[in-house]
A and B are shown apart, each in its own frame.
Chain A
Amino acid sequence: DAEITQSPRHKITETGRQVTLACHQTWNHNNMFWYRQDLGHGLRLIHYSYGVQDTNKGEVSDGYSVSRSNTEDLPLTLESAASSQTSVYFCASSESTSSKIQYFGAGTRLSVL
């Protein structure tokens, strides 16, 4: 079955370190998204991509970057981790159809100490 997987599921890091969260989907979807979920804020869009070599900034992109070198993967990099980036991160993917349905991974819980 097609799926979307995130790794690691849990990560603890120190401030200032570079961290990369992986997202891999086997749906062959063109569109991929990264969100963060924080108490009191719901899901906020960090970056998104509509295809290979395409990346776009979302609502809360400062301190994050993404790259899209193939259809299946959209890794999220925290260039210099900050305590404010402690959060749960979700990756999602979708087809470009009228349904607009995004399919989410199980999430990565990141703690920056």
Chain B
Amino acid sequence: DQQVKQNSPSLSVQEGRISILNCDYTNSMFDYFLWYKKYPAEGPTFLISISSIKDKNEDGRFTVFLNKSAKHLSLHIVPSQPGDSAVYFCAATIGGSEKLVFGKGTKLTVNP
């Protein structure tokens, strides 16, 4: 039973436009969410996170939105750049646990 779902395996956008990556979760106990970015042949790197007590967190071109009632979060990248082309993983955790539960990832391609 998949607790963190990224239903879009891939997304393609034009350079300069907005990229929106979505993530849904089923476990209402999750209270902290993270996004990771992964390039081929490299390990995932942390991008941005959000606590369940917030509904938005922003870091430069990256913004994460959390809708707890819908159990949904999204990552917005504005403006998108070709260097943003990577696989993006959504992850969630429960307070008191150090474990992360990952989604399957979404491959973002930003076309010049």
Contact = CB atoms under 8 A, between A and B. Distances in A.
Q: Indicate whether A and B interact.
A: yes
Contacts of B25: none
Interface in B37-68: 41-46, 49
Given A40-B104, A41-B104, A99 B43 contact: no
Most-contacted residue by chain A among B42, B43, B45, B46 (CB, 10 A): B43
Given A40-B104, A42-B89, A42-B103, A100 B34 contact: yes
A77 interface: no
Contacts, number: 54
Given A41-B104, A42-B105, A96-B98, A101 B34 contact: yes
A22 interface: no
A102 B43 CA distance: 11
A58 to B, nearest CB: 8
Q: What bracket does the count of chain B residues touching chain A fall in?
A: 20 to 34
Contact of B41 (A94, A103, A105, A106): A106
B98 A50 contact: yes
A105 B45 CA distance: 9
B85 interface: no
Interface of A: 31, 33, 35, 40-45, 48, 50, 58, 90, 92, 94, 96, 98-107
Interface of B: 6, 32, 34, 36, 41-46, 49, 89, 91, 93, 98-105
